[in-house]
Structure 1
Amino acid sequence: MEKTRVLHVVREAEGGMKKHLLSILNGLNKDKYQLAVGCSFDKKTTDDLREDGVSVYCVDICDGINFKKDFVAIKKLRAIIDDFRPHIIHFHGAKASSVGRLASLGYNLKIVVTVHNFPNYKNMNKIKKYFYLTINKYLNKKTDAVVAVSYALKNAVVDEESIPSDKVRVVYNCIDMPQFISTPLNLREKYDIASDTFIIGCVARLIPSKGVQDLIEALNILRGKIKAFVFIAGDGPYMEYLKEMVGELKLDNVEFLGFIEDIFKFLSSIDIFVLPSRSEGFGISVAEAMALGVPVIATDVGGIPEIVKNDENGIIVKSEAPKDLANAIEVLALNEDLRNKFSKKGKEYILSNFSKEKMIKELDLLYDELRRK
């Protein structure tokens, strides 16, 4: 029987979206599927994919609207479709799905879109919002299935873009645990941190919506109450602002590590994980920390409450509330029994509900349904 040819398309991406896509490309059965990806990944990732039998096409899909670059990307994607001849084309993220679906017009393809983040309509002016909604509502009619990575995201896109609910299915991101965890970073020794000081970790793209500024405020509130040192892993345009904020508050217990390739190596080096997001489609770094048995504190936004059950396997606090965040950190730091409880319960919950096998099975069923239509 002929293999099902599936082309995945993504804009330049790191973090959760990239991890999610790589888990799919590595996890789908290569005896059943012929896979390709249109992307602008780094050379190592590209080489690894090709070694695994995935065809890689280089295409640059920029963020935001740029008519010249978008036209070039549409032209390139049409050339990729002509070359690979997919049965199914699967877009990841808002920009790739907009440009990609325009490129797919006129082809006899089954189209899937995965929504990774919340629509940003509330921050748009009326004209821009009307423009985006008009285009998306038109393209949604040309789309065979929409995948949301959390129920919170599903509800948002159904409400904002008037997509029929039965067209949107939830497929959670998986936690693709490595077979072997590398040696921890040994942050305590490297930065000469005392044994009675708690190491707090945060993994985030450094943009305002990730709320790292609230974690810094919380650390300032905790001054003199507990001994803590915060390591922030991630990069982004907000880094300089956050560094200036740390300097103005005269905090000497915050370190920015930049982008870290092996995130499990970092997570296995910390005592408590905090994600202070103001907006979050899923929150994969929270789930990764829990899978390693790291007790977590996160905010009540997006898909996070679908992962963290307050006072059962972690602590949930309000977003944009540094005082609440500071209080949660203090409570967890001073209660060893609670940390042990969250460590055990969190790991159990993640490994039971967010496995790679479960995610791949659900996508496999979706692709089968589309091929039969």
Structure 2
Amino acid sequence: MNILMVGPKSDSKGGIATVIANFKEYYSGENQVAYLATWTEKHKFSTGIKAMLTLRKIIRKNKIDVVHFHVAQKSSFHRKALLAKLVPRRTKVIFHMHASQFDTFYKLAGKKAKKKIRRELSRLDGLVVLSEEWAAFYEQITDAPIEIIENAVMVEEQPKYNPRATEIITLGRLGKRKGSYDILHVAKQLESEFPNVCFTLFGDGEIEEVEREMEALASQNVRLGGWLLKEDRDEIVAGTVLHLLPSYQEGLPMSILETMSEGIPNLASDVGGIPQVIQDGENGMLIKPGDISSMVEKLRYFLTDEKLREKLSQAAYEKIKTDFSLEKYFEKWDRYYESLLEEESQESLSISNLDERQKEWS
């Protein structure tokens, strides 16, 4: 089977690009996968135009059976919906929904915009979502077949966690949605009690706004690390005691899966698909979005109990190894791709049988 994967270039920033990069680097199934970039860091507009001009040519040349679109909300959704209309009818189209705010995007849309969103979704042969929570949402707005395939990561043979490390990190874009400002207030409350612990926020986004808030709080235990480069990852992981992600909205963050696969415990909010990965007190810690006092309390307990850190670390690693490894992830995708074509074969067989019966009746 021939698959065309459409989304941001694999070396771009963000979770969607990481998912595509994992396919490019590690997928070794029987299917042949081609890639078409619709977005790059430096050439956003021209890359999108090129994708529109070359999509049908690539489908014909590679005899594509399924076009696998990676989709977020807002402009990402509208761009992919436009591209999907260019796909020949014989080729299956699926939207792989990574959106962390599609519910808000839909809620804020006007009546006509909502109708257009539902219409675009109804045209799909399949909709793949990251969690049961997101499946329940999309079922309210579309009749398109929905499949749940959670994100996954490459798992180390052995975790390299250091329970005596002193750095708490956050990976991803900075901003209110990710709880970045809440982290600053948490750090301030713990500053005098844990003077050796440093909170480092890695990522891009609302850099200037976060810096202003740090200045207003006179933060001494917080720093901004910029976008974490692949070549610096091992050094940062070695010094990390916890990954902190108190988001207000999420899909299923790659940053949580990646850090847990290294044996790094997580404290995160119970939104999106996160509760399917983190069980509070068993392999990590969960809080309600915006609950700063609960965050402070759990961090205080975590930082003063080395045995707890070791327990959460091992359980986090085992959870990813058992349920979120790339090997099992690719097996799920192979079965899903196959099911799409099986449905087509069954439909063709039904039509053929109907034609035969009609001939007999005439």
Tell me the TM-score range normalised by the shorter chain. Answer: 0.7 to 0.9
Say whether the 8 Å CA contact 2:156–2:261 is kept in structure 1: no
From the CA coordinates, give the structure whose radius of gyration is larger.
Answer: 2
Alpha-carbon spacing, 1:111–1:315, altered in 2? closer, same or farther (3 Å)? same
The aligned residue for residue 239 of structure 1 is: 207
Aligned-residue RMSD, C-alpha = 3.0
Q: Which residue does the alignment assign to 1:152? A: 133
1:118 aligns with 2:100: yes
| Residue 20 of structure 1: how far off its partner (Å) | 1.2
In structure 1, what is the equivalent of residue 37 of structure 2? Answer: 39
Alignment match, 1:91: 69
The answer as to whether partners of 2:65 and 2:91 remain within 8 angstroms in 1 is yes
Q: Which is further off, 303-312 or 217-226? A: 217-226
Cα distance in 2 for partners of 1:170, 1:303 equals 11
The aligned amino acid for 1:214 is D
Q: 1:235 to 1:119 in 2, by over 3 A?
A: closer
Higher deviation after alignment, 258-267 or 342-351: 258-267
- TM-score, normalised to structure 2's length? 0.82
Residue matched to 1:190: none
CA distance in 2, matches of 1:155, 1:40: 29
Q: For residue 22 of structure 1, what is the aligned residue in structure 2?
A: 21
Kindly provide the amino acid, as one letter, of the partner of residue 328 in structure 2.
Answer: K
Count of aligned residue pairs for this structure pair: 334
Aligned counterpart, 1:55? none
Q: What secondary structure, in the 3-state scheme, does the structure 1 residue paired with 2:240 have?
A: coil
Percentage identity across paired residues of the two chains: 22
Q: Is 1:232–1:256's contact at 8 Å kept on the other side of the alignment?
A: yes
Is the 1:39–1:60 Cα contact (8 Å) retained in structure 2? Answer: no
CA spacing shift, 1:35–1:147, aligned 2, 3 Å: same
Aligned to 2:334, the other structure's residue is in SS state helix
Q: What's the secondary structure of 2:67's corresponding residue? A: strand
Give SS of 1:210's match: coil
Task: Map Cα deviations across residues 56-83 of structure 1 (whole Å, 9 max, x no partner).
Answer: xxx9666xxxxx9977753443444344
Distance in 2 separating the partners of 1:203 and 1:16: 10
- Aligned ranges for residues 24-173 of structure 1 at < 5 Å? 24-29=23-28, 32-39=30-37, 74-94=52-72, 95-105=75-85, 107=88, 108-122=90-104, 128-159=109-140, 161-163=141-143, 167-173=145-151
Query: Following the alignment from structure 1 to structure 2, what is the Cα–Cα distance between the partners of residues 354 and 198?
Result: 27
1:78, 1:103 within 8 Å by CA — same for their partners in 2?
A: no
Aligned-pair CA distance for 1:311: 0.8
Q: What secondary structure is seen at the aligned counterpart in 2 of 1:271?
A: strand
Following superposition, the deviation at residue 97 of structure 1 comes to 4.9
**2:191 matches 1:223:** yes
* Structure 2 residue corresponding to 1:268, chosen from 234, 238, 254: 238
Question: Which letter does structure 2 place at the counterpart of 1:290?
Answer: M
C-alpha spacing 1:18/1:264, structure 2 compared with 1 (3 Å): farther
For 2:314 and 2:186, locate their aligned partners in 1 and report how far apart those are by CA, in whole Å: 26
Structure-2 residue corresponding to 1:198: 166
Return the alpha-carbon distance in structure 2 between the equivalents of residues 214 and 369 of structure 1.
44
Q: CA deviation at 1:349?
A: 1.1
SS of residue in 2 equivalent to 1:260: coil
Which whole-Å CA distance do the structure 2 matches of 1:344 and 1:180 have between them?
10
Distance 1:132 1:369 in 2: 31
Looking at structure 1, the residues matched to 337 and 234 of structure 2 have their Cα atoms a distance apart, in angstroms, of 31
Distance change >3 Å, CA 273–CA 104, structure 1 → 2: closer
* Aligned counterparts of 2:4 and 2:316: Cα–Cα separation in 1: 35
Task: Work out the CA distance in 2 between the residues paired with 1:293 and 1:103.
Answer: 40
Distance 1:308 1:11 in 2: 28
- Specify whether residues 353 and 226 from structure 1 end up closer, same or farther in structure 2 by C-alpha distance, changes over 3 A only: same
CA positional deviation for 1:365:
0.6
Equivalent positions of 1:254-333 (< 5 A) are 254-262=222-230, 263-333=233-303
Do 1:118 and 1:156's aligned partners in 2 also have CA atoms closer than 8 Å?
no
Q: Is the 8 A contact 1:115 1:153 kept in 2?
A: no
Deviation of residue 40 (structure 1)? Answer: 5.5
Can you give the 5+ residue segments of structure 1 that lack an aligned partner in the other structure? 44-58, 63-67, 187-194
State the TM-score, normalized to the length of structure 1.
Answer: 0.80
CA distance, structure 1, for counterparts of residue 156 and residue 311 of structure 2: 24
CA distance in 2, matches of 1:365, 1:266: 37
The amino acid of 1:36's aligned partner reads A
